[in-house]
Structure formats: C-alpha cells, structure tokens
Chains A and B, each alone.
Chain A
C-alpha cells in the first residue's frame, strides 16, 4: 500500500493538470502495475478542479475499468473535492 500526498506536489489548489498527469504516470501507474493498492491523500487540499481530477484518474479508469476503484482510495478529501472526484468517476464509468 502506497500513500501519495497530493498537497506536497501541488499545494492547496489542485488545478495543474501537468502535475496531475506526472503523478499518474510516474507514481500511481507503477504501483498499480506491481499489484499494489494506492491511497491518494488530499489532506490540506482546499479545492480541486474537474480538469485536475480528470487528468489524475480518468485514464486509469479507462485502463483498469471500474476495478480501479477497488485498488485506489481517496483520503482526507473535503466535501467539494469528494464531489469533483465523484463527478469524474461517474462519467468515466458511464463512458464507453
């Protein structure tokens, strides 16, 4: 089990998609490929944009299907961040 601290990488407003992509490719994917579960820790993140969350997890849902949501957990999210994550996971699971 690996925990990734999002605040340490992007600060309190998670909006930089380039950083989201880097976290996904360089940190999340290698762990998932090894069969490890991943915790994304959103402690101290005040807000996140839909674009950031999309760049962080949408391709993982496309690649691993909804099983991804068994392997990845979202920790210490405030209410708004939780809702943005739910919007993205909803539309990605409803997509082809």
Chain B
C-alpha cells in the first residue's frame, strides 16, 4: 500500500489524495509526503493510522519527512500507531493547541470513557459541546456495532483557530457500508449503499420501519444534518465510492442525500471499511434544539412517504 501526504488535504480538496491511494500489496505500507509542507484533515491521519494497524511495523516504510509541519504527525500520535520511530526533528516547541490525538476505540466502555476525556481537550463552551459529542458517539457506535472491524474505530480531531472549526475523522477497516446495508436491503454499488445509509430509517439490521430494538438507521442522517444546517463539510467514503456534502446557502433538510448539494465519486481506490470526515464550525453552530425540530419534521415525512409507497393501490378496471 502506498500513501502520499500532500501539502493540503481537507474535505473540500481531499479527492486528489484519495485518488492517489494505492492498496496493492496489503502486507506493506509506504508513506511519502510533500517535501515542504503537510497540512491534512484528521480524517487523513485516521486513515493512515488505520492502515498502519493492519501492517506489521517492520513492513511500514516512512520516508524521512522534511516538511516544516511534519511534527504535527508526531504530535497527533501517528508514529506510535505505525509502531515506528519518528525521525522528525522538532526545532521549536509548539503549544499543544486544541486537538484529540489519534485514538483507537474498540468497545462501548472505551467509547464512553473517550467522550468524557475528549471534551476538556477541546476547551469547548457548554453550548458547543452537544454537536461534537453527539457526532463522535453516533459514528463510533456505528463502527462498534456494524463494522466488525478488528481494530475498532480510529478517531482524531483538530481545532482550527483561524476558521474556528473542529475537524473530526473517524475511520474503520471493517465490512464497509455495502456489506452492512445489504444484510437487509439491496444496493448494487457502494455509492447506492452510502445513499441508503444516509436516508433516515434505513438500517442494515432490518427492513422493518422503525428499525430493531437496538438500531433505527438514523445516526448518519443526524450527522449529515448537523453538517448541513451549519454549512459545514461532511464526507463518507466506503468501497470505491465517496459522498461529499458540500457547503450550501440553504438549511432545508432532505431525507435523500442526493437532493442536498453534494459531489460523488465512484471510481476511487477501494477502501475496505468506512471513512467519515466532518467539519463543525463553532461560530456558526446553529442552536441544537432548532436542528432537532428540523430533523423531527424531515424524519417523520420520510417515514410517511415510505409507508405510503408500500400501500396497496386500488385496481381500477
């Protein structure tokens, strides 16, 4: 496998980074990077760490990183995940900033503990806490419950002072969305599976409306909605497909993610598992309670529409 860390890879411009990924020769991992600068979204680091966990440390080859910002990778704990020694020279001491280093979460207890520890690290105001812990809890629980990933979920996050936003990356190397959703639905492509997974009330665990006693199929819809109403980016990549919610002027919610302003790719290198990246702006965070009103309305209409679609139609002869 080969990964090239570019000078810039955030959700808005992540496509070239993904296209360059090379997943051949799964026993070995080669990491190279831009010589002068590396600035990447936490989702990129979570991906590298997830691949690193699948590779024996002696098979990980990381070229000497000369970029001035390379110490960031060390600060986020990437070398520890890869099981290799860092050869990055830290010339000057940088303040720690507000970030959550790469963390591996394998079960429900670890998740509850992680959420408790995470909030103080980000120094959030009380009104900013709700969407962040909501996003992390729902996404990581998805991994724990559905992904069957031996290495669990790899999570990292970074606060960016200039744009006053928090970027979060949550990655697994499990079954992927298509296999999960196809346990109860029919998605012929990875992209269609992603679309179904984002529609409220559709879960891989059952065809039944309302879900099972344990799953409703609402988690990803909630996350996409948090991003949409705050005009933030959100991406989900699984198999060869990626759905990216683009920033738009409207906050109108749609049950079908393809009706939102978005971009899609369905010819990317095949990621075994699921990658989710989200940005949450802290200055524009719409009141969480108003967001819940909008979700209630959209969710309810989506269920009604699906129910109506199954009604038997009268025969007029």
Contacts and interface: CB of A to CB of B under 8 A. Distances in A.
A92 B292 contact: no
A91 B216 contact: yes
B218 interface: yes
Nearest to A48: B134
Interface stretch (B5-13, B21-29, B203-211): B203-211
A46 B116 CA distance: 13
B160 interface: no
Nearest to A12: B116
A18 B108 CA distance: 8
A26 to B, nearest CB: 14
Q: Give the interface size bracket for A toward B.
A: 20 to 34
A47 interface: yes
Contacts of A86: 296
B218 A50 contact: yes
Main secondary structure on A side of the interface with B: helix
A88 B216 CA distance: 9
Interface residues of B, number: 36
A18 B213 CA distance: 11
Contacts of A94: 209-210, 300, 303-304, 307
A69 interface: no
A62 B210 contact: yes
Nearest to A87: B296
A95 B208 CA distance: 8
Contacts of B303: 91, 94-95
Contacts of B213: 21, 55, 58-59, 62
Interface in B245-301: 288-289, 292-293, 295-296, 299-300
Interface of B: 108, 111-112, 115-116, 129-130, 133-134, 137-138, 141, 200-201, 208-211, 213-216, 218-219, 222, 288-289, 292-293, 295-296, 299-300, 303-304, 307
18 contacts: A13-B137, A21-B213, A46-B130, A47-B130, A49-B138, A51-B137, A51-B141, A51-B219, A54-B211, A54-B215, A80-B292, A87-B295, A90-B300, A91-B200, A91-B303, A94-B209, A94-B304, A95-B307
The 3 closest A-B pairs by CB, nearest first: A95-B210, A59-B213, A83-B292
